[in-house]
Structure 1
Amino acid sequence: MEPKLTHISQIGLCVKDLDAAVAGMEKVFGVKPSRYGETPETKRYYKGQEASFGARLAFYNFANIEIEFMQPLYGESDWTHYLESGREGLHHFRFSVDDFQGTVDAMRDRGIGVLMEGLSVKSDKLRWALFDTEELIAFPVEIFNEFQFRPEELPS
């Protein structure tokens, strides 16, 4: 099965200081975030293990692309790993998918595992997964289901 990655719906940037990034966006583009958020206290996974991690988030809407800024707050995650490696900026591209589990299965068939996953800040009916693609293409690929799913679909 081929993964059905039809369109990029988000560009994610990982930053040390969310407030500074927001001020920079206002200075450069004259825009404020369309919304802020924090990762919800829900079941999440990092490298296949249930994990507790969180981040402050700011979202911007540009045409059909959402730009997400993430500032890790606590816990071990790919976000903290990214910043600890001395990087800041482009973290991931996110693709919206119709068949979340089918896409996960197709990527696993290609030897690409899920690095992190959890529920969206938008709704507990929406789910995201970040794939371990950095060594292959220099950044992780994320998928997001725009539609509802059953909570029992989360790994146990």
Structure 2
Amino acid sequence: MTHENLPGRLFQMGIVVPDMKAAIAYMQTTMGTGRFMTLPADPKVTWFRGNMEEVSYEMAFGYMGDMQIELMMPVSGRSTYAEYLERVPTGGVHHLGFEVTEFDPAAAEMEARGFQAVQKGSFGDTRFNYYEHPDDKGTLVEILYLDSAVKEMFATIADQSF
């Protein structure tokens, strides 16, 4: 039986955390990552399970080898991050992130494979969708189209030049 990979390139593991400072300290001292770039919990509007929601969450990005580690800590509003912490209060792996070069065809492919979008958002020209599959309600799959500014930011994090 032949299996086709999901669209894009797996580059990111997303982890929802209840305490950002403790999570960063753990990742650096225990897991051996480099420094993390943190982004403040600015309010934003996102599509979540069919409704537009105002949400706020803190984010931090770091690397373990070539794998990007994204930490998310929900602050307010309904989101997949808040849902995750309701199920798993100690936090854990929320999603696997795939970078795609063309967003709309990748989104259509995800739906054709039976994945259902549960959260969608954008910033600048960067777009992302989180998907769940009826066969797996655990770890979500994210597809991301990254604009040049975000790619540049991620490069500075990867080479620790920020």
Give the corresponding residue for 2:158.
Answer: none
- Gap change, CA 1:107 and 1:3, over 3 Å in 2: farther
Unaligned runs of 5+ in 2: 149-162
TM-score normalised by length of structure 2:
0.77
TM-score normalised by length of structure 1:
0.80
Letter paired with 1:83: L
Letter paired with 2:71: F
State the Cα distance separating 1:80 from its structure 2 match.
Answer: 0.7
Query: Quick one: distance in 2 between partners of 1:58 and 1:132?
Result: 23
Q: In the alignment, does 2:26 pair up with 1:24? A: yes
Question: Secondary structure of the residue that 1:82 maps to in structure 2?
Answer: helix
Give the corresponding residue for 2:146.
Answer: 146
State the Cα distance separating 1:3 from its structure 2 match.
Answer: 7.8
Query: Quick one: distance in 1 between partners of 2:110 and 2:41?
Result: 25
Give the corresponding residue for 1:48.
Answer: 50
Question: Relative to total residues, which structure has the larger strand share, 1 or 2?
Answer: 2
Query: Quick one: distance in 1 between partners of 2:31 and 2:6?
Result: 33
Query: Quick one: distance in 1 between partners of 2:6 and 2:29?
Result: 37
Percent identical pairs in the alignment equals 25
Query: Quick one: distance in 1 between partners of 2:16 and 2:126?
Result: 21
Judge which range, 5-14 or 41-50, deviates more: 41-50
- Gap change, CA 1:78 and 1:137, over 3 Å in 2: closer
Give the corresponding residue for 2:61.
Answer: 59
State the Cα distance separating 1:38 from its structure 2 match.
Answer: 3.4
- Gap change, CA 1:129 and 1:38, over 3 Å in 2: farther
One of 69, 81, 84 as aligned partner of 1:82 = 84
Query: Quick one: distance in 1 between partners of 2:26 and 2:9?
Result: 27
One of 106, 111, 120 as aligned partner of 1:108 = 111
Query: Quick one: distance in 2 between partners of 1:31 and 1:108?
Result: 34
Q: Is the contact made by 2:61 and 2:68 (CA closer than 8 Å) also made in structure 1?
A: yes
Query: Quick one: distance in 2 between partners of 1:115 and 1:66?
Result: 22
Compute the RMSD of aligned alpha carbons. Answer: 2.3
Q: How many aligned positions are there? A: 144
Query: Quick one: distance in 2 between partners of 1:126 and 1:39?
Result: 18
Q: Is the contact made by 1:92 and 1:142 (CA closer than 8 Å) also made in structure 2?
A: yes
Matched ranges for 1:112-123 at <5 A: 112-120=115-123
Unaligned runs of 5+ in 1: 149-156
Query: Quick one: distance in 2 between partners of 1:69 and 1:140?
Result: 14
